Structure 1
């Protein structure tokens, strides 16, 4: 029973389907993170456990064990004391060193490329769901509460996933036939946020979020995104919004970074760059970059 093996301390966060507490192993004093799964979410705990138990990667949080009590289910993780959102806030000059941005983006892409190679969609990538080991500056993908396996035979998923600011346009438009590009879009938003130190699209509702995306990247049509007008929530805007020069949106980003960002924020998911291909982009391969 978890109450006899671990001592639960203060609440340190909340995930898609559970609360996270700092804890301590009573035998060896190891500090851990205890994620208590909410009982009213049937099946969520089984999906998250099964996904995490099958993944072993440096850039994905490691599930140490699972403990049950009479009333609760706990997922036990290695304790990492800071999320990426807080890490950026604490480092006031973070965006001034392009090597740091490059290093962290590379780690995010490595983690998500691994997920996709194992047919797993994360579906809720955002700075608060990325944890940092400050002793090694290793970044790890966390909170797989909304993650699920995908299959070429099953391509109908809920459109009610992901945090609004990082949600891909195909999901915002009501698509239930989406795949790995939704995660790449989220990573692109995080990339821009690292450079600008603020979210790229800050809509206050789904329609507002779409308007902000279209105002920056242009209103999609059948020429630029075949099939977009047939998506359930597609809105025929009263005026056609034109795209901005992305280099003016992220003025501190080098040209190869702007090119990579444009490929990650490609509106048509079928043309969006994959995480694996992004790792081979010139942004990482030139100038002797060492991950």
Structure 2
């Protein structure tokens, strides 16, 4: 009890600027009201009364070391005499004191409310937890523990003041906040995180060791594809490892594919799960799809089921509508870049030659699309093309699935490819295709004058499938501007007369096979 009473006198005397309870805070002179809270009602020796009065020498600020030492010595003596006086009074050996008699029925160092009828105890509120947490940002754990301990002590003192009476020297909320949040802890600047630390891969993704290779699926001119299993999710994935040349850098096709696929989330577009970069190698982690359309048709030679052709073509158009609405051209549609899983779900893949198209269209390279699926305007050197480029490829793939063989299989270069096209669709002229003669690769007299034939006459399998010939004709137009768009083709009678309306209402990321009546024939 007495120890706490003596310690509380420190806040009145403000012994020195090195007071550990103040943690190097500048000395403050006790106010008259604070000293009065100790003096009033107490029968202290006269020199102790003097020590607590406003004109006490220790309240004078002086930077002289000798005077400071003398002041500290006097304060220590006063504290000792006060301590002795308290002990004598409480044991009955000294003069009676109203203040000390009050202590006999109160808690440690506090005066009960009954002895102060006109004085209401002042409840003290500590800084909010939000402000407390804010002030602690940037400090180390030992420093936080020190602050927490200080706050606990002040909370106990505030509880005493509220429940039992007043402390000898109650301090204001501002003083407590200053002591806890400004003087107890040194100001530690917050450490700035480096960009390399922020960009570090997580423990699960962005690491090659998160995937275990199972087998090689294929190898291209600059990449190799592996079947692998994710050690994080347990799912089967496809790893596309792109070899990097230190002299040439990362292939532009890889950069283009990654940037486009990040923004194309659709049920009929292959999903890019992860990207891993290590020295000399860039790996794309794709969802695993069992087979591509080319290999599927090799395993199932001959014409495909009209139902399956319709469902696959619908999914192909559905994926292209999503791309074209976002101004993205695939530019390399062919059976090898169309993937199929065991459920009959189609996925557009290999966006290495794809690119975002601005409006109006700009000049692009004409060295795109495998020659069998390349439109005549691109074969003739046109560099101004739009979504019609992809629609020609859809027409070629659609007819190939129905008849079981490529529609225009040129074997001797571009000249032979154009000849095969013109034999079926007719040789173009300025009357049938305005501006064709101005294309870079068009030369007068280069091709024989072939007349146009009906696709159903050339490909009898088109007639067998209801509504197949009209949509094939709309897709395979020599003049780019006459080709049907992906969205218009999706709503053509070929689909709407057979497929349920619910198939048009499903979400972009949902499979068409969620519609009960839609089934792929295996």
State TM-score, norm by structure 2.
Answer: 0.53
Give the counterpart of 1:21 among 197, 220, 226: 226
Contact 2:268 2:316 in 1 (8 A): yes
* Residues in 2 aligned to 1:115 and 1:202: alpha-carbon distance in whole angstroms: 27
How far residue 288 of structure 1 moved from its aligned partner, in angstroms, is 4.6
* Residues in 2 aligned to 1:35 and 1:240: alpha-carbon distance in whole angstroms: 46
Distance 1:28 1:238, change over 3 A: closer
User: Comparing both structures, which one devotes a greater share of its residues to helix?
Assistant: 2
**Cα displacement string for residues 166-202 of structure 1 (whole angstroms, at most 9, x for unaligned residues):** 0011110001111110100001000010011110001
SS of residue paired to 1:13: strand
Q: Which has the larger radius of gyration?
A: 2
How far residue 72 of structure 1 moved from its aligned partner, in angstroms, is 0.8
* Residues in 2 aligned to 1:16 and 1:162: alpha-carbon distance in whole angstroms: 16
* Residues in 1 aligned to 2:215 and 2:349: alpha-carbon distance in whole angstroms: 19
Q: How many residues in Structure 1 have an aligned counterpart in Structure 2?
A: 289
**Cα displacement string for residues 195-248 of structure 1 (whole angstroms, at most 9, x for unaligned residues):** 111100010211100010001100011111111110000132353111122102
The answer for unaligned runs of 5 or more in structure 1 is: none
The answer for unaligned runs of 5 or more in structure 2 is: 1-205, 504-517
* Residues in 2 aligned to 1:98 and 1:154: alpha-carbon distance in whole angstroms: 36
SS of residue paired to 2:423: helix
Higher relative contact order, chain-length normalized (CA < 8 Å, sep 6+): 1
* Residues in 1 aligned to 2:251 and 2:499: alpha-carbon distance in whole angstroms: 48
Q: Which residue matches 1:245?
A: 454
Give the counterpart of 1:155 among 362, 381, 384: 362
Q: Which residue matches 1:64?
A: 273
* Residues in 1 aligned to 2:406 and 2:298: alpha-carbon distance in whole angstroms: 13
Give the counterpart of 1:209 among 411, 417, 423: 417
Q: Which residue matches 1:88?
A: 297
Q: Which residue matches 2:288?
A: 79
Q: Does 1:232 align with 2:440?
A: yes
Give the counterpart of 2:493 among 272, 282, 291: 282
Q: Which residue matches 2:253?
A: 44
Matches within 5 A, 1:178-217: 178-204=385-411, 205-217=413-425
Contact 1:94 1:100 in 2 (8 A): no
* Residues in 1 aligned to 2:377 and 2:273: alpha-carbon distance in whole angstroms: 35
Q: Which residue matches 2:51?
A: none
After superposition, the CA RMSD in angstroms is 1.8
* Residues in 1 aligned to 2:398 and 2:253: alpha-carbon distance in whole angstroms: 29
User: Comparing both structures, which one devotes a greater share of its residues to strand?
Assistant: 1
Distance 1:288 1:49, change over 3 A: closer
* Residues in 2 aligned to 1:25 and 1:76: alpha-carbon distance in whole angstroms: 10
Q: Does 1:269 align with 2:469?
A: no
